[in-house]
Structure 1
């Protein structure tokens, strides 16, 4: 595996329920990333329709997920670029004819094939009436042209256990599509610190890199700063963020030096310790025993 990987974070102001416009914007940005030599392009969570689950059209558009996934596969093959198309809301029939909605991230290889997928496990509290969790399914890494990769989604970032499972499965890079806003903090929290959520992200992303000797590609939605955080970034241990966007729309292409992961592991020996039979913090979900 080459130690340098060229990757692109893509963020923009996602327009609610404007699925064709958002898809076109995404494709244009992916083309820009490919022209700049990116091997991988990552989009935000909810990038096709935004987050408006109480609108009936949102549920209808979720039923079109397969078409847009196929479009991204064709684009990946055409441009010879890997794509993580943020997340795509998928609609499935549930019990008693009720619809279930899953928030799913896919890793599409540079030949158009799907190498892996992940359904959001840790559902943010306002999402729980609308989305179904992947619950007891394992967090699993996949081999890709840029290395061994794990995927998480948004609020999964808050759970160290998710990273530990991916690292135990050999992940070097963790990709996190996100729709994280300043107002995810409660009014009580914002009274103490109006930038509470930005502090959460900046401190947690860097900490996860250090404590797991992994790289993180974090991609968020962007737009007016009173409603959006942006902050899409590529972060590594030792150096922290090697790229970090503000709230602007656009593409950021950066070289990701995976050699830093080896330096961090030689220094901290985190993977070595969690791989031992007598590791102090053996953790398993009870349903996976």
Structure 2
């Protein structure tokens, strides 16, 4: 496997300031491309932030396709792959109901869309507003930087999502996120004010080891009382090879994908789950 040069981009996303957020993203992408990045990844909700009770948020969700096209053009111009965080897509469902999906796209360096993923595990406060991808399977996609899986934010908490992706050959899992210190309950924060930072730092490295994969995790940034940042590129064997605090900006890092081969030869996780008679083939339901 080769080394891949990737960029993680985080900033203080402004609610409902879709044009400003888009311009900020494009400027950072251009800077990352000038430093040789083959891939740039943005945070979840990067266009409008999280403001689902505001009517403007719904209106902007209906405009998201034009920004996706802009990113396709930018990827082609700069010859860089992009995962433009997540984009809220509005669709009309049964009985003329309005549905909102939280979607991540992988755009190739020629501007084509190679795949998309809609968030499956919806964080509890999001559930009144977003629709899950439900029983759709987690699938990896072939890209210029390798075979990629995509998850979104709270999906990180579910090992099953990673298992599906690596069973489908994913080498790198990309996770756009909008994860804050205040996602912990008041009870949890009384025991540990840094509870969510501990959650992320421990889980990201664990997922790399237990799946012999790399992870590109990109979060929103801003004042410490409301934002965690912590965007990072993490690999098995060595842990984070690039990690940000809660500052705004970007970081370009080299991912030595040879470490995935070393980890797999050592732990043989992929070999075991592909073996005939693998003993963890089951579903977490009371009916089975």
- TM-score interval (norm. to shorter): over 0.9
Cα distance in 2 for residues equivalent to 1:77 and 1:68? 14
Query: 1:96 offset after TM fit, Å?
Result: 1.7
Please give the residue correspondences for 1:150-229 in structure 2 after superposition, counting only pairs within 5 Å. 150-229=149-228
Contact 1:136–1:285 at 8 Å: present in 2 too? no
C-alpha distance after superposition, 1:157-188 (max 9, x if no partner): 00000000000000000000000000000000
Cα distance in 2 for residues equivalent to 1:44 and 1:55? 21
Contact 1:183–1:227 at 8 Å: present in 2 too? yes
Please give the residue correspondences for 1:17-166 in structure 2 after superposition, counting only pairs within 5 Å. 17-166=16-165
C-alpha distance after superposition, 1:73-94 (max 9, x if no partner): 0000000000000000000001
Query: 1:283 offset after TM fit, Å?
Result: 3.2
Q: How many residues end up aligned between the 2 structures?
A: 286
C-alpha distance after superposition, 1:228-249 (max 9, x if no partner): 0000000000000000000000
Cα distance in 2 for residues equivalent to 1:34 and 1:87? 20
The 3 A distance-change label for structure 1 pair 285 and 115 is: farther
Query: 1:284 offset after TM fit, Å?
Result: 4.9
Cα distance in 1 for residues equivalent to 2:262 and 2:125? 40
Query: 1:58 is paired with a residue of what secondary structure?
Result: helix
Query: 1:231 is paired with a residue of what secondary structure?
Result: coil
Cα distance in 1 for residues equivalent to 2:93 and 2:268? 45
Specify every segment of 5 or more residues in structure 1 that has no aligned partner in the other structure, as ranges.
none
Contact 1:141–1:170 at 8 Å: present in 2 too? yes
Cα distance in 2 for residues equivalent to 1:252 and 1:279? 40
Cα distance in 1 for residues equivalent to 2:282 and 2:78? 41
Query: 2:210 is paired with a residue of what secondary structure?
Result: helix
Contact 1:90–1:102 at 8 Å: present in 2 too? yes
Query: 1:98 offset after TM fit, Å?
Result: 1.6
Cα distance in 2 for residues equivalent to 1:40 and 1:271? 25
The 3 A distance-change label for structure 1 pair 188 and 285 is: closer
C-alpha distance after superposition, 1:77-119 (max 9, x if no partner): 0000000000000000012212100000000000000000000
Cα distance in 1 for residues equivalent to 2:102 and 2:284? 21
Cα distance in 1 for residues equivalent to 2:239 and 2:279? 27
Match of 1:247 in 2: 246
Q: What's the RMSD between the two structures over aligned residues?
A: 1.1
2:278 is aligned with 1:279 = yes
Stretch deviating more after TM superposition (91-100 or 245-254) = 91-100
Write out the 4+ residue segments of structure 1 that deviate beyond 3 Å after TM superposition: 283-286
Query: 1:34 is paired with a residue of what secondary structure?
Result: helix
Cα distance in 2 for residues equivalent to 1:82 and 1:20? 21
Cα distance in 1 for residues equivalent to 2:277 and 2:91? 42
